[in-house]
Structure 1
Amino acid sequence: MLTGGGASATEACLDLPDLATAGALTTALVRQGVAKTHFYKGAPTDKASACPGFSDKCWEKAFVVAGDRVIVSGSVGDFVCAHFVAPRKRGKETFQEIVRSGWLTSADLAPEPPAKPPVWTGDWRRVEANIAIKAGARPGMLAIRGDATFGSMDPDRVKRGAVNVGEISGEVAPVDGGLSFAMGDEGAVPVTKAAETDCKVWMRRVGSWLLVDDNRQCGGANVSFSGLYSLQGK
Protein backbone atom coordinates (compact mmCIF):
# COMPACT_ATOMS: atom_id res chain seq x y z
CA MET A 1 0.00 0.00 0.00
CA LEU A 2 1.26 3.45 -0.91
CA THR A 3 1.04 6.11 1.74
CA GLY A 4 2.56 9.51 2.27
CA GLY A 5 2.17 12.73 4.17
CA GLY A 6 -0.86 14.88 4.70
CA ALA A 7 -1.88 15.50 1.09
CA SER A 8 -5.64 15.61 0.55
CA ALA A 9 -8.12 15.96 -2.27
CA THR A 10 -8.33 19.68 -1.57
CA GLU A 11 -4.62 20.18 -2.26
CA ALA A 12 -3.28 21.07 -5.69
CA CYS A 13 -0.45 18.50 -5.61
CA LEU A 14 1.56 20.80 -7.86
CA ASP A 15 4.88 20.46 -6.07
CA LEU A 16 6.56 18.73 -3.17
CA PRO A 17 5.36 19.86 0.25
CA ASP A 18 7.44 22.06 2.52
CA LEU A 19 10.05 19.78 4.10
CA ALA A 20 9.71 21.64 7.38
CA THR A 21 6.21 20.20 7.80
CA ALA A 22 6.01 17.31 5.30
CA GLY A 23 5.00 13.85 6.42
CA ALA A 24 6.48 10.66 5.01
CA LEU A 25 7.98 10.74 1.51
CA THR A 26 8.45 7.47 -0.38
CA THR A 27 9.32 6.33 -3.90
CA ALA A 28 7.46 4.05 -6.29
CA LEU A 29 7.69 2.66 -9.81
CA VAL A 30 4.95 2.44 -12.40
CA ARG A 31 4.18 -1.28 -12.50
CA GLN A 32 5.37 -3.45 -15.36
CA GLY A 33 2.50 -4.23 -17.70
CA VAL A 34 0.99 -0.76 -17.27
CA ALA A 35 1.19 0.78 -20.75
CA LYS A 36 0.65 4.24 -19.30
CA THR A 37 -1.11 5.75 -16.34
CA HIS A 38 -2.51 9.27 -16.56
CA PHE A 39 -2.41 12.07 -14.03
CA TYR A 40 -5.68 13.28 -12.49
CA LYS A 41 -6.61 16.74 -11.32
CA GLY A 42 -7.06 17.59 -7.67
CA ALA A 43 -9.53 20.09 -6.25
CA PRO A 44 -7.46 22.98 -4.86
CA THR A 45 -10.30 25.53 -4.94
CA ASP A 46 -13.57 23.66 -5.53
CA LYS A 47 -14.19 21.51 -2.47
CA ALA A 48 -17.38 20.15 -4.01
CA SER A 49 -15.39 18.64 -6.87
CA ALA A 50 -14.97 14.88 -7.01
CA CYS A 51 -11.37 15.18 -8.18
CA PRO A 52 -9.18 13.30 -8.01
CA GLY A 53 -11.55 10.65 -9.30
CA PHE A 54 -12.25 8.37 -12.24
CA SER A 55 -14.26 10.85 -14.28
CA ASP A 56 -13.57 12.68 -17.54
CA LYS A 57 -13.40 16.06 -15.81
CA CYS A 58 -10.53 14.86 -13.61
CA TRP A 59 -8.52 13.07 -16.32
CA GLU A 60 -5.42 14.81 -17.72
CA LYS A 61 -3.44 14.12 -20.89
CA ALA A 62 -0.07 13.87 -19.11
CA PHE A 63 1.00 10.34 -18.18
CA VAL A 64 3.88 8.14 -17.03
CA VAL A 65 4.79 4.66 -18.27
CA ALA A 66 6.03 1.35 -16.85
CA GLY A 67 9.34 1.73 -15.04
CA ASP A 68 9.03 5.47 -14.42
CA ARG A 69 9.97 6.46 -10.88
CA VAL A 70 7.96 8.89 -8.75
CA ILE A 71 8.17 10.39 -5.30
CA VAL A 72 4.95 9.95 -3.30
CA SER A 73 4.03 12.67 -0.80
CA GLY A 74 0.45 11.85 0.10
CA SER A 75 -2.62 9.78 -0.65
CA VAL A 76 -6.39 10.03 -0.77
CA GLY A 77 -8.68 7.16 -1.66
CA ASP A 78 -7.47 5.39 -4.81
CA PHE A 79 -4.92 8.11 -5.63
CA VAL A 80 -1.50 9.31 -4.52
CA CYS A 81 0.15 12.70 -4.90
CA ALA A 82 3.12 11.77 -7.12
CA HIS A 83 6.12 13.67 -8.46
CA PHE A 84 7.69 12.23 -11.61
CA VAL A 85 11.50 12.28 -11.63
CA ALA A 86 13.37 12.26 -14.95
CA PRO A 87 16.77 13.30 -16.34
CA ARG A 88 17.14 16.80 -17.73
CA LYS A 89 20.08 17.95 -19.85
CA ARG A 90 21.76 21.20 -18.85
CA GLY A 91 24.77 22.03 -20.98
CA LYS A 92 27.10 19.03 -21.00
CA GLU A 93 25.67 17.52 -17.81
CA THR A 94 22.52 15.56 -17.00
CA PHE A 95 20.63 16.15 -13.75
CA GLN A 96 17.59 14.49 -12.20
CA GLU A 97 14.62 16.82 -11.77
CA ILE A 98 10.97 16.62 -10.79
CA VAL A 99 9.30 17.32 -14.12
CA ARG A 100 5.62 16.68 -13.32
CA SER A 101 3.48 16.51 -10.19
CA GLY A 102 -0.10 15.34 -9.84
CA TRP A 103 -2.46 12.58 -8.73
CA LEU A 104 -1.86 9.02 -10.00
CA THR A 105 -3.83 5.81 -9.49
CA SER A 106 -2.15 3.99 -6.60
CA ALA A 107 -2.95 0.55 -8.09
CA ASP A 108 -0.64 1.33 -11.03
CA LEU A 109 2.36 1.89 -8.76
CA ALA A 110 4.67 -0.49 -6.93
CA PRO A 111 6.27 0.92 -3.75
CA GLU A 112 10.04 0.75 -3.35
CA PRO A 113 11.42 -0.24 0.06
CA PRO A 114 13.57 2.52 1.62
CA ALA A 115 17.27 1.95 2.21
CA LYS A 116 18.07 1.23 5.87
CA PRO A 117 20.01 3.10 6.97
CA PRO A 118 20.01 5.71 4.19
CA VAL A 119 23.40 6.73 2.79
CA TRP A 120 24.10 10.40 3.38
CA THR A 121 27.81 10.83 2.68
CA GLY A 122 29.09 11.85 -0.72
CA ASP A 123 28.98 14.71 -3.20
CA TRP A 124 25.43 15.70 -4.15
CA ARG A 125 24.62 17.90 -7.14
CA ARG A 126 21.79 19.68 -8.92
CA VAL A 127 21.81 22.58 -11.36
CA GLU A 128 23.72 25.48 -9.80
CA ALA A 129 24.25 23.79 -6.43
CA ASN A 130 26.58 21.29 -4.77
CA ILE A 131 26.39 19.78 -1.29
CA ALA A 132 29.22 17.70 0.19
CA ILE A 133 28.34 15.49 3.17
CA LYS A 134 30.88 13.51 5.19
CA ALA A 135 31.15 11.98 8.63
CA GLY A 136 31.31 14.61 11.34
CA ALA A 137 33.91 15.01 14.08
CA ARG A 138 31.54 13.46 16.63
CA PRO A 139 29.92 9.99 16.34
CA GLY A 140 26.57 10.05 14.58
CA MET A 141 27.07 13.54 13.20
CA LEU A 142 27.30 14.66 9.58
CA ALA A 143 29.45 17.55 8.36
CA ILE A 144 27.63 19.43 5.61
CA ARG A 145 28.98 22.07 3.27
CA GLY A 146 27.28 23.46 0.18
CA ASP A 147 27.58 26.15 -2.46
CA ALA A 148 24.84 27.51 -4.72
CA THR A 149 24.55 30.20 -7.37
CA PHE A 150 21.89 32.10 -9.27
CA GLY A 151 22.71 33.12 -12.83
CA SER A 152 25.77 30.97 -13.50
CA MET A 153 23.95 29.35 -16.46
CA ASP A 154 23.36 32.76 -18.06
CA PRO A 155 26.39 33.86 -20.15
CA ASP A 156 25.30 37.50 -19.99
CA ARG A 157 25.09 37.50 -16.18
CA VAL A 158 28.47 35.77 -16.00
CA LYS A 159 29.99 38.39 -18.30
CA ARG A 160 28.55 41.22 -16.19
CA GLY A 161 29.69 39.63 -12.93
CA ALA A 162 26.05 39.45 -11.85
CA VAL A 163 26.06 35.87 -10.54
CA ASN A 164 24.74 35.67 -6.97
CA VAL A 165 26.18 33.11 -4.56
CA GLY A 166 25.34 31.40 -1.30
CA GLU A 167 26.73 28.77 1.03
CA ILE A 168 25.69 26.50 3.86
CA SER A 169 27.71 24.65 6.47
CA GLY A 170 26.96 22.81 9.65
CA GLU A 171 27.36 19.62 11.64
CA VAL A 172 24.15 17.84 12.58
CA ALA A 173 22.77 14.36 13.32
CA PRO A 174 20.15 12.89 10.96
CA VAL A 175 16.91 11.53 12.42
CA ASP A 176 14.70 9.02 10.58
CA GLY A 177 16.01 9.91 7.12
CA GLY A 178 15.90 13.67 7.65
CA LEU A 179 17.82 16.52 9.19
CA SER A 180 17.60 20.26 9.64
CA PHE A 181 19.78 23.05 10.89
CA ALA A 182 20.22 26.81 10.83
CA MET A 183 23.42 28.78 10.48
CA GLY A 184 23.97 30.76 13.66
CA ASP A 185 26.83 33.05 14.64
CA GLU A 186 28.68 30.18 16.29
CA GLY A 187 27.82 27.33 13.93
CA ALA A 188 24.80 25.16 13.33
CA VAL A 189 21.80 25.60 15.64
CA PRO A 190 18.30 24.04 15.65
CA VAL A 191 15.94 25.80 13.24
CA THR A 192 13.54 26.40 16.14
CA LYS A 193 16.17 28.53 17.87
CA ALA A 194 17.17 30.59 14.82
CA ALA A 195 15.98 34.03 13.79
CA GLU A 196 13.70 34.36 10.77
CA THR A 197 16.52 35.99 8.82
CA ASP A 198 19.00 33.17 9.56
CA CYS A 199 19.68 30.58 6.88
CA LYS A 200 17.53 27.51 7.61
CA VAL A 201 17.90 24.18 5.80
CA TRP A 202 15.88 20.96 5.77
CA MET A 203 17.05 17.74 4.06
CA ARG A 204 15.44 14.36 3.38
CA ARG A 205 16.88 11.19 1.88
CA VAL A 206 14.25 9.79 -0.47
CA GLY A 207 15.08 6.84 -2.72
CA SER A 208 18.43 7.52 -4.38
CA TRP A 209 18.11 11.28 -3.98
CA LEU A 210 18.67 14.05 -1.52
CA LEU A 211 15.79 16.50 -1.22
CA VAL A 212 16.60 19.95 0.14
CA ASP A 213 14.48 22.89 1.21
CA ASP A 214 15.57 26.27 2.58
CA ASN A 215 14.03 29.58 3.62
CA ARG A 216 15.78 31.60 0.87
CA GLN A 217 18.02 33.28 3.41
CA CYS A 218 21.17 31.35 2.50
CA GLY A 219 22.75 33.68 -0.05
CA GLY A 220 22.25 36.53 -2.47
CA ALA A 221 19.05 37.43 -4.30
CA ASN A 222 17.23 34.41 -5.78
CA VAL A 223 19.84 31.95 -4.46
CA SER A 224 18.30 28.79 -3.04
CA PHE A 225 19.50 25.29 -2.17
CA SER A 226 16.01 23.84 -2.57
CA GLY A 227 15.67 21.00 -5.03
CA LEU A 228 16.46 17.41 -5.92
CA TYR A 229 20.10 16.28 -5.74
CA SER A 230 21.81 13.23 -7.24
CA LEU A 231 24.84 11.50 -5.75
CA GLN A 232 27.84 11.91 -8.02
CA GLY A 233 29.57 8.77 -9.20
CA LYS A 234 26.37 6.69 -8.98
Structure 2
Amino acid sequence: MRAKMIGLVLSAMLVVSSASAYDAYDPKNCIGVDWDDAHAVVAAQVTASPRVNFVKSPYDDDFKAAACPAASAACRKASYLVPGDVVLSGRTVGEFTCVSYQSPSAKKPVWTRGWLPSAALRPLAPASAPAASDWLGTWTQPGGTIEIAPGGLGGRLHVEGEMVVPTARDVHTGVIDAQVKPGADTIAFLEDGWLPFETKCDSGCRVRMQRVGPYLMVEDNGDCGGAGVSFTGLYRRKK
Protein backbone atom coordinates (compact mmCIF):
# COMPACT_ATOMS: atom_id res chain seq x y z
CA MET A 1 0.00 0.00 0.00
CA ARG A 2 2.83 2.39 0.94
CA ALA A 3 4.58 1.75 -2.40
CA LYS A 4 1.33 2.44 -4.26
CA MET A 5 0.88 5.74 -2.41
CA ILE A 6 4.44 6.79 -3.21
CA GLY A 7 3.81 5.98 -6.87
CA LEU A 8 0.66 8.11 -6.90
CA VAL A 9 2.48 11.03 -5.29
CA LEU A 10 5.33 10.83 -7.79
CA SER A 11 2.85 10.72 -10.68
CA ALA A 12 1.08 13.79 -9.33
CA MET A 13 4.41 15.59 -8.98
CA LEU A 14 5.26 14.83 -12.59
CA VAL A 15 1.90 16.18 -13.78
CA VAL A 16 2.33 19.37 -11.75
CA SER A 17 5.92 19.73 -12.97
CA SER A 18 4.85 19.40 -16.62
CA ALA A 19 1.95 21.82 -16.19
CA SER A 20 4.12 24.40 -14.43
CA ALA A 21 6.64 24.23 -17.29
CA TYR A 22 4.04 25.30 -19.83
CA ASP A 23 4.20 28.98 -20.70
CA ALA A 24 1.32 30.32 -22.80
CA TYR A 25 3.23 33.60 -23.20
CA ASP A 26 6.36 31.99 -24.58
CA PRO A 27 6.90 33.90 -27.88
CA LYS A 28 7.62 30.58 -29.60
CA ASN A 29 4.24 29.19 -28.53
CA CYS A 30 1.53 29.80 -31.14
CA ILE A 31 -1.96 29.46 -29.67
CA GLY A 32 -3.70 31.74 -32.17
CA VAL A 33 -3.83 35.33 -33.31
CA ASP A 34 -3.65 37.88 -30.48
CA TRP A 35 -5.89 40.91 -30.03
CA ASP A 36 -4.13 44.28 -30.26
CA ASP A 37 -5.98 47.53 -29.47
CA ALA A 38 -3.72 49.50 -31.80
CA HIS A 39 -3.22 47.14 -34.74
CA ALA A 40 -5.74 45.17 -36.75
CA VAL A 41 -5.21 41.51 -37.57
CA VAL A 42 -3.99 40.73 -41.10
CA ALA A 43 -5.61 38.20 -43.42
CA ALA A 44 -3.21 36.22 -45.60
CA GLN A 45 -3.57 33.72 -48.41
CA VAL A 46 -1.55 30.53 -48.69
CA THR A 47 0.63 30.56 -51.80
CA ALA A 48 2.85 27.49 -51.25
CA SER A 49 2.23 24.63 -53.67
CA PRO A 50 1.09 21.91 -53.55
CA ARG A 51 0.59 22.40 -49.80
CA VAL A 52 2.24 23.74 -46.65
CA ASN A 53 2.32 21.91 -43.33
CA PHE A 54 1.76 23.51 -39.96
CA VAL A 55 4.83 23.70 -37.72
CA LYS A 56 4.96 22.72 -34.05
CA SER A 57 5.39 24.91 -30.98
CA PRO A 58 7.88 23.91 -28.24
CA TYR A 59 5.20 22.30 -26.05
CA ASP A 60 3.79 19.97 -28.68
CA ASP A 61 4.48 16.22 -28.56
CA ASP A 62 4.26 16.21 -24.76
CA PHE A 63 6.94 18.89 -24.39
CA LYS A 64 9.33 17.14 -26.76
CA ALA A 65 9.40 19.81 -29.47
CA ALA A 66 11.71 22.28 -27.72
CA ALA A 67 13.59 23.09 -30.95
CA CYS A 68 10.42 24.19 -32.75
CA PRO A 69 9.39 26.16 -34.68
CA ALA A 70 12.07 25.24 -37.18
CA ALA A 71 12.35 24.12 -40.79
CA SER A 72 12.90 20.47 -39.95
CA ALA A 73 10.99 17.26 -40.46
CA ALA A 74 10.74 16.83 -36.67
CA CYS A 75 8.84 20.12 -36.39
CA ARG A 76 6.46 19.42 -39.26
CA LYS A 77 2.85 18.62 -38.32
CA ALA A 78 0.60 16.32 -40.33
CA SER A 79 -2.03 19.06 -40.76
CA TYR A 80 -1.60 21.32 -43.77
CA LEU A 81 -3.18 24.02 -45.96
CA VAL A 82 -3.29 24.38 -49.74
CA PRO A 83 -2.97 27.35 -52.12
CA GLY A 84 -5.89 29.73 -51.80
CA ASP A 85 -6.69 28.97 -48.16
CA VAL A 86 -7.07 32.18 -46.15
CA VAL A 87 -5.79 32.54 -42.58
CA LEU A 88 -5.66 35.20 -39.91
CA SER A 89 -2.00 35.97 -39.34
CA GLY A 90 -0.35 37.36 -36.26
CA ARG A 91 3.13 37.71 -34.79
CA THR A 92 6.26 36.26 -36.29
CA VAL A 93 9.22 34.36 -34.87
CA GLY A 94 12.15 34.03 -37.23
CA GLU A 95 10.88 32.60 -40.51
CA PHE A 96 7.44 31.66 -39.15
CA THR A 97 4.07 33.36 -38.66
CA CYS A 98 1.46 32.38 -36.07
CA VAL A 99 -1.89 31.84 -37.80
CA SER A 100 -5.48 30.81 -37.10
CA TYR A 101 -7.43 28.91 -39.75
CA GLN A 102 -11.07 27.88 -39.95
CA SER A 103 -12.39 25.84 -42.85
CA PRO A 104 -15.27 27.62 -44.63
CA SER A 105 -17.05 24.26 -44.85
CA ALA A 106 -16.88 23.64 -41.08
CA LYS A 107 -20.18 23.18 -39.27
CA LYS A 108 -18.83 24.25 -35.86
CA PRO A 109 -16.48 27.06 -34.77
CA VAL A 110 -13.36 24.89 -34.79
CA TRP A 111 -9.97 26.49 -35.44
CA THR A 112 -6.55 25.16 -36.38
CA ARG A 113 -3.78 27.26 -34.86
CA GLY A 114 -0.05 27.03 -35.39
CA TRP A 115 3.03 28.26 -37.19
CA LEU A 116 3.36 28.50 -40.96
CA PRO A 117 6.44 29.56 -42.94
CA SER A 118 6.05 33.29 -43.61
CA ALA A 119 7.27 32.74 -47.17
CA ALA A 120 4.16 30.59 -47.80
CA LEU A 121 1.79 33.51 -47.09
CA ARG A 122 0.70 36.56 -49.06
CA PRO A 123 -0.96 39.34 -46.99
CA LEU A 124 -4.36 40.46 -48.30
CA ALA A 125 -4.98 44.21 -48.26
CA PRO A 126 -8.33 45.34 -46.85
CA ALA A 127 -10.61 47.57 -48.94
CA SER A 128 -9.28 51.12 -48.68
CA ALA A 129 -12.59 53.01 -48.77
CA PRO A 130 -15.62 50.70 -48.65
CA ALA A 131 -19.00 52.29 -49.30
CA ALA A 132 -21.83 51.88 -46.79
CA SER A 133 -23.39 49.25 -49.06
CA ASP A 134 -20.20 47.16 -48.84
CA TRP A 135 -20.90 46.57 -45.14
CA LEU A 136 -24.62 45.82 -45.35
CA GLY A 137 -26.03 42.33 -45.25
CA THR A 138 -26.12 39.14 -43.22
CA TRP A 139 -22.64 37.68 -42.72
CA THR A 140 -21.99 34.15 -41.49
CA GLN A 141 -19.21 31.86 -40.34
CA PRO A 142 -19.43 28.51 -38.47
CA GLY A 143 -21.36 29.17 -35.27
CA GLY A 144 -21.87 32.89 -35.83
CA THR A 145 -23.97 35.45 -37.66
CA ILE A 146 -23.54 39.22 -37.97
CA GLU A 147 -26.21 41.43 -39.53
CA ILE A 148 -25.35 44.97 -40.59
CA ALA A 149 -28.20 47.32 -41.53
CA PRO A 150 -28.67 51.08 -41.89
CA GLY A 151 -28.85 52.73 -38.47
CA GLY A 152 -30.44 55.99 -39.51
CA LEU A 153 -28.60 58.29 -37.08
CA GLY A 154 -25.82 60.38 -38.60
CA GLY A 155 -24.79 57.73 -41.07
CA ARG A 156 -24.51 55.05 -38.40
CA LEU A 157 -24.97 51.35 -39.07
CA HIS A 158 -26.77 48.90 -36.82
CA VAL A 159 -24.56 45.88 -36.09
CA GLU A 160 -26.13 42.81 -34.49
CA GLY A 161 -24.30 39.55 -33.92
CA GLU A 162 -24.69 36.22 -32.20
CA MET A 163 -22.08 33.51 -31.65
CA VAL A 164 -22.78 30.02 -30.27
CA VAL A 165 -19.92 27.79 -29.09
CA PRO A 166 -20.86 24.22 -28.05
CA THR A 167 -19.08 22.77 -25.02
CA ALA A 168 -19.08 19.28 -23.51
CA ARG A 169 -22.14 19.96 -21.36
CA ASP A 170 -23.87 23.05 -22.75
CA VAL A 171 -23.27 26.03 -25.04
CA HIS A 172 -21.60 29.39 -24.50
CA THR A 173 -22.98 32.39 -26.34
CA GLY A 174 -21.99 35.91 -27.25
CA VAL A 175 -23.99 38.89 -28.49
CA ILE A 176 -23.06 42.23 -30.02
CA ASP A 177 -25.56 45.04 -30.60
CA ALA A 178 -24.20 48.44 -31.58
CA GLN A 179 -24.93 51.62 -33.50
CA VAL A 180 -21.69 52.49 -35.29
CA LYS A 181 -20.43 55.17 -37.66
CA PRO A 182 -17.93 53.51 -40.05
CA GLY A 183 -14.42 54.91 -40.31
CA ALA A 184 -12.55 55.38 -43.58
CA ASP A 185 -11.85 51.66 -43.95
CA THR A 186 -12.88 50.07 -40.64
CA ILE A 187 -15.90 49.56 -38.42
CA ALA A 188 -14.67 49.69 -34.84
CA PHE A 189 -16.72 49.99 -31.67
CA LEU A 190 -16.80 49.49 -27.92
CA GLU A 191 -19.92 47.94 -26.36
CA ASP A 192 -23.00 49.63 -27.96
CA GLY A 193 -20.96 51.93 -30.21
CA TRP A 194 -21.70 55.24 -28.51
CA LEU A 195 -18.34 55.38 -26.75
CA PRO A 196 -15.32 55.91 -29.02
CA PHE A 197 -13.41 52.72 -29.82
CA GLU A 198 -10.27 54.33 -28.38
CA THR A 199 -11.88 54.79 -24.93
CA LYS A 200 -9.55 53.35 -22.31
CA CYS A 201 -11.19 50.79 -20.04
CA ASP A 202 -10.27 47.46 -18.49
CA SER A 203 -13.29 45.56 -19.77
CA GLY A 204 -16.04 45.69 -22.36
CA CYS A 205 -16.71 44.18 -25.77
CA ARG A 206 -14.34 45.75 -28.30
CA VAL A 207 -14.80 44.85 -31.98
CA ARG A 208 -13.03 45.76 -35.22
CA MET A 209 -14.21 44.91 -38.76
CA GLN A 210 -12.65 45.23 -42.21
CA ARG A 211 -13.69 44.26 -45.73
CA VAL A 212 -11.10 41.94 -47.30
CA GLY A 213 -11.99 40.59 -50.73
CA PRO A 214 -15.32 38.75 -50.38
CA TYR A 215 -14.99 38.60 -46.59
CA LEU A 216 -16.07 40.61 -43.62
CA MET A 217 -13.03 40.17 -41.37
CA VAL A 218 -13.98 40.49 -37.70
CA GLU A 219 -11.90 40.43 -34.53
CA ASP A 220 -12.77 41.05 -30.91
CA ASN A 221 -10.97 41.26 -27.58
CA GLY A 222 -12.62 38.16 -26.08
CA ASP A 223 -15.04 40.14 -23.87
CA CYS A 224 -18.15 39.78 -26.04
CA GLY A 225 -19.63 36.64 -24.51
CA GLY A 226 -19.12 33.60 -22.34
CA ALA A 227 -15.91 31.69 -21.77
CA GLY A 228 -14.21 30.75 -25.02
CA VAL A 229 -16.58 32.83 -27.15
CA SER A 230 -15.14 35.08 -29.84
CA PHE A 231 -16.57 36.67 -32.99
CA THR A 232 -13.12 36.69 -34.58
CA GLY A 233 -13.10 35.18 -38.06
CA LEU A 234 -13.80 35.57 -41.76
CA TYR A 235 -17.50 35.94 -42.57
CA ARG A 236 -19.19 35.47 -45.94
CA ARG A 237 -22.23 37.45 -47.02
CA LYS A 238 -25.36 35.31 -47.07
CA LYS A 239 -26.99 35.24 -50.50
How has the CA–CA distance of structure 1 residues 9 and 35 changed in structure 2, closer, same or farther, with 3 Å as cutoff?
farther
Does 2:97 correspond to 1:76? no
Consecutive unaligned residues of structure 1, counting only runs of 5 or more, are 1-7
Give per-residue Cα distances to partners, 1:34-78, cap 9 Å, x unaligned. 1221111234799xx553221344222221123322222232332
How has the CA–CA distance of structure 1 residues 107 and 142 changed in structure 2, closer, same or farther, with 3 Å as cutoff?
same
What secondary structure is seen at the aligned counterpart in 2 of 1:117? coil
Amino acid in structure 2 at the alignment position of 1:87: P
Give the superposition deviation at 1:139. Answer: 5.2
2:147 to 132, 143, 151: 132
What secondary structure is seen at the aligned counterpart in 1 of 2:233? strand
Instruction: Determine which structure has more spread, i.e. the larger CA radius of gyration.
Output: 2
Consecutive unaligned residues of structure 2, counting only runs of 5 or more, are 1-24
| 1:1-234 equivalences in 2 (<5 Å) | 10-20=27-37, 22-31=39-48, 34-43=49-58, 50-90=67-107, 99-118=111-130, 119-138=134-153, 141-148=156-163, 166-174=175-183, 176-183=185-192, 188-190=194-196, 193=199, 199-205=204-210, 207=212, 208-216=215-223, 224=229, 226-233=231-238
What secondary structure is seen at the aligned counterpart in 2 of 1:86? coil
What CA distance in whole angstroms lies between the structure 2 residues aligned with 1:146 and 1:102?
27
What CA distance in whole angstroms lies between the structure 2 residues aligned with 1:192 and 1:112?
25
Amino acid in structure 2 at the alignment position of 1:200: C
Amino acid in structure 2 at the alignment position of 1:227: T
What fraction of aligned residue pairs are identical, expressed as a percent? 20
What secondary structure is seen at the aligned counterpart in 1 of 2:119? helix
Normalized per residue, the structure richer in strand is 1
What CA distance in whole angstroms lies between the structure 1 residues aligned with 2:117 and 2:29?
16
Normalized per residue, the structure richer in helix is 2
- Higher RCO (CA-CA < 8 Å; seq separation 6+): 1
Query: Aligned pair count?
Result: 206
Instruction: Give the TM-score normalised by the residue count of structure 2.
Output: 0.64
What CA distance in whole angstroms lies between the structure 2 residues aligned with 1:148 and 1:64?
26
